[in-house]
Amino acid sequence: MTTTQLAPPSRPAPTGRGEMATAYDASVVEEALYAWWEECGFFKPSGVGEPFTIIMPPPNLTGELHLGHGLVVTIEDMLVRWHRMLGHDTLWQPGVDHAALAVNAIVERQLRGEGIDPKSIGREAFLERVWAFVNNSRDHIGRQHRRLGASADWSRELFTMDPGPQAAVRETFCRLYEDGLIYRGEYIVNWDPLGQTALSDLEVEHIEVDGAFWHVRYPVLDAAGARTDEYLVVATTRPETIPADVAVAINPEDPRHAHLVGRSVLVPTDLRPVPVIADSAVSIEGGSGALKVTPGHDPVDFEIGQRHGLPIISIMHPDATLNEAAGTYAGLDRFEARKRVVADLEAVGLLEKTVPYRHAIGHSSRSGAVVEPLISMQWYVKIEPLATPAIEAVRDGRIQFVPRHFERTYLHWMENIRDWCISRQIWWGHRIPAWYCDACGEVIVAREDPRRCPSCASEQLRQDEDTLDTWFSSGLWPHSTLGWPEETPELARYYPTQVMETAYDIIFFWVARMIMMSMYNMRDRGPQGSIPFETVYLHGLVRAEDGSKMSKSKGNVIDPLETIAKYGTDALRYTLISGSSPGNDQRLSEQRLEAGRNFANKLWNASRFALSLVEAGDDLTLPASSDVTSVEDRWILSRVERIATNANELLGKFELGEAMRQVRDFFWDEFADWYIELAKVRIRAGDRTPLPVLVHVLDTTLRLLHPCMPFITEEIWQRMAGVRPADAPGLIVAAYPSGDAARLDDEAERTMLALQEFVRAVRNIRAEKRVDAGRWVEGYIVGGEAASAARGAQSAIEQLARVRPLHIVDMPAEAPSEQVVTTVLDVGQVTLPMAGLFDLDGERKRLRQQIEEASKEVGRLEAKLANEQFRSRAPANVVATEEERLATARGRLAGLEQSLAEVG
Ligand SMILES: [Zn+2]
């Protein structure tokens, strides 16, 4: 077992305790701290506590990480860091996927760019080129993950092509084959004529294109086989496949065609007779009600053909040029053949009409070529026996989706799933472990490469040239990364894993297949033990500021590494998390990133200031709740515990964004803007009792924020050595606050709210009346909760609102009522005598002058608008503008007159 007890760090944190720099510089801190964490072994499972495991979705080897990866890393790292701090035995298992089709295409492109035909150099030389590309990309991806702060156990990193996962793939293939769940046969597949490989349904992208329905006349033969004047009209979007027609199908219930059943028609391109068959798959409504049946080139027709025992004609080569079976069209590209067929039909009067038609056509998601349904020999997984238990596991709640509605999407797809074509005609990937005996034709599927044929002992064996669909190996990831098929201690301890976190767009590609393949391989462990994970958490996409998808071609991609260089990793992580909620997309903008950086700076500056208040010799022991008397101390201690309780609850529900927004708002709006200010007043007056509270709340907030903003919190925490609790060598492995109910204090929270409202009201009046920031003004707090709260914090209020003298009275009659500004609040009343706010004589003079100017403006505009000549000659919009101006000027005049009346 590779889990180790946490060793003490081999050296202290790189930046250590001591004076904090005046400004936070992420570039100085982040890489050094990351190296220290990794060196201390903090990323490895501790071996103690309840296991918590996340398998990292293996990124494709195709190069750069984008912001989607940034979000994956941040979410998973947050969950992992949170559980690590909760004391769980936490494993975050990293890995990389070999991305068969994509990488194969990249290397083919590279070779063609060098003027080399990829097929000409042979399998081995080609694979050498791929490995060179792979090794380079792997390093790059690893570095990017580290820069994002991922605390994964890199000592366990795996690649889908490593020996362990290779063995898992082969074992799975053999088991499925032995259980009759893998078969090989000639079926119609989605064929990519450019990539020259079969594709699974999921690798086909449906894109709308302009096409047409060609209505083609099939001459009807009479019972004796002679051509009649009657035609059966068939509408098709792919006339080039007419030479492969083997029947025309009609619905048995369709009265228009009832007389044709049992007769024959002529295929219009080569006048070959084919039967008219009845099949209920043909729709009566819409169109002519007749369907040409082309089993060699259409999956629906393939099934009709099987039902009726029809022959199959295949008229295309793998590159989608037509072959000899297409007669006169042999040698043409499929789209050229389409034009020729249409022209020929028109020439002989067999084209009735052409109707333009816009429809979705399958394209290869890799090469972009239009997919051609073709008959070919492929390997398949019989999927229903695998899907059934995978559907059950979600139905009965053993596996839960967050957000919940994705369960419907999953179940709908799983209930309609078709057999999975797993063979690909490319060289890069896991080669299919099947051999063919040239001497006797035996097919051998084996765990070890066979040397001779078990049935005839011949050594003339050829291995199947095909490789497996990439998702065959990534479908095994939750157990193959833990050592399966070996019964390793890691498999025993960390399987089933707890959370599978990924983007919602790969539910079918990956999540569904992991559930099916894992439950099949791990079925000996029973219903609960066989599932690969308990929760599937699906996050949304990161979109550009205008809501569009980020893409290289649009030039709106935000590069995570450039962003980190500019804003710091913590700012990027906070921005991504605060914008995320389960299943929803988010928009990313420079403005949001700046807000993230501003928060990091606020965190640094406020912490630095708070710590500067602590002096050597201060007693920093936090008193018991009953010994805390000051209302603001009781308030902030209550608030921080409430926030900690909320954070844990929200993190448990995967509301990571909301959890961190609450902690941020608490730190900024309550701790920094209010508590530190209030504490400062008392400390400067010689009262040191706020210090233990200040340090405790700061320490708690750093712990709460650490999973999201690991670097800056660790850095501040290290600098607090000797001041805060020393329960761990690093914040990364310190305890996460759980929320102490004993410190909750509703009364103190209510009192502080009243006090805050009072101070805000004074600040608003000061801003409205443009009172100098430094000016002290006289003020009254009248009645209610504000008065009782204020009595306990008189000097603090005086400082925060700059009100002195401050009169706290119970009855309105005790405060002046003439020449005052009063704001009535829910919690009482604020009254400021105007004489204290500004020089009344000067103010009257200023107002009278402005009233005079405003009156003149009103007069001028009124005269202009009263002028008949202006009104009749000026364009309507000019008149409207002037009318608007007059209304504004009148409003201003009224406002000034009211102000003058208030001043008296
Ligand atoms: Zn043999």
Q: What is the pLDDT of residues 92-108, one digit of tens each?
A: 999 999 988 889 988 99
Query: How many angstroms separate the Cα of 604 from the Cα of each of 24, 65, 566?
Result: 6, 29, 17
C-alpha 215: how far from its chain's center?
Answer: 46
What pLDDT digit, counting tens, does each position of 419-447 carry?
A: 999 999 999 999 999 999 989 999 999 99
Per-residue pLDDT band for 9 (boundaries 50, 70, 90) equals low
C-alpha–C-alpha distance, residues 53 and 521, integer Å: 19
Q: Is residue 4's pLDDT more than 60?
A: no
Tokens coding 47:
């071996």
Q: Is residue 892's pLDDT more than 60?
A: yes
What pLDDT digit, counting tens, does each position of 736-779 carry?
A: 999 999 999 998 898 888 888 888 888 888 888 778 878 888 88
CA of 668 to the centre of ligand 1 (A): 77
C-alpha–C-alpha distance, residues 38 and 28, integer Å: 17
Q: Is residue 200's pLDDT more than 90?
A: no
What pLDDT digit, counting tens, does each position of 627-652 carry?
A: 998 889 999 999 999 999 999 999 99
CA of 443 to the centre of ligand 1 (A): 8
CA of 446 to the centre of ligand 1 (A): 14
CA of 425 to the centre of ligand 1 (A): 25
Share above pLDDT 70 across residues of the chain, in percent, rounded to a whole number: 97
Residue 831 three-state SS: strand
Per-residue pLDDT band for 11 (boundaries 50, 70, 90) equals low
Q: Is residue 3's pLDDT more than 70?
A: no
CA of 178 to the centre of ligand 1 (A): 19
DSSP secondary structure string for all residues of 658-716: HHHHHHHHIIIIIIIIIIHHHHHHHHHTT--THHHHHHHHHHHHHHHHTTTSHHHHHHH
What pLDDT digit, counting tens, does each position of 300-328 carry?
A: 899 888 888 899 999 999 999 999 999 99
C-alpha–C-alpha distance, residues 461 and 598, integer Å: 67
What pLDDT digit, counting tens, does each position of 53-78 carry?
A: 999 998 888 767 788 889 999 999 99
Which whole number is the average pLDDT over 196-208?
Answer: 87
CA of 171 to the centre of ligand 1 (A): 23
CA of 444 to the centre of ligand 1 (A): 9
Per-residue pLDDT band for 193 (boundaries 50, 70, 90) equals very high
Three-state secondary structure readout of 876-904: HHHHHHHHHHHHHHHHHHHHHHHHHHHHC
Share above pLDDT 90 across residues of the chain, in percent, rounded to a whole number: 61
Q: Is residue 7's pLDDT more than 70?
A: no
Per-residue pLDDT band for 702 (boundaries 50, 70, 90) equals very high
Residue 110 three-state SS: helix
CA of 560 to the centre of ligand 1 (A): 56
> Residue 112, Cβ neighbours under 10 Å: how many?
11
> What's the mean per-residue pLDDT of the chain?
90
CA of 434 to the centre of ligand 1 (A): 13
Q: How would you list the strands of the sheet with 777-782, edge to edge?
A: 803-809, 777-782, 828-833, 820-825
What pLDDT digit, counting tens, does each position of 219-253 carry?
A: 999 988 899 999 999 999 999 999 999 999 998 88
CA of 450 to the centre of ligand 1 (A): 11
Q: Is residue 509's pLDDT more than 90?
A: no
Q: Is residue 152's pLDDT more than 50?
A: yes
Query: How many angstroms separate the Cα of 488 from the Cα of each of 54, 164, 169, 425, 527?
Result: 17, 12, 17, 34, 20
CB 616 within 8 A of CB 587: no
C-alpha–C-alpha distance, residues 432 and 466, integer Å: 6
CA of 377 to the centre of ligand 1 (A): 21
Q: Return all residues near 230 (Cβ < 8 A) that are at least 6 apart.
A: 219, 220
Protein residues with C-beta less than 5 angstroms from the ion ligand 1: 437, 439-440, 442, 453, 455-456, 458
Q: Measured between alpha carbons, how far apart are the two ends of the chain, in Å? A: 85
CA of 462 to the centre of ligand 1 (A): 11
CA of 442 to the centre of ligand 1 (A): 5
CA of 318 to the centre of ligand 1 (A): 29
pLDDT at 63: 65
CA of 383 to the centre of ligand 1 (A): 30
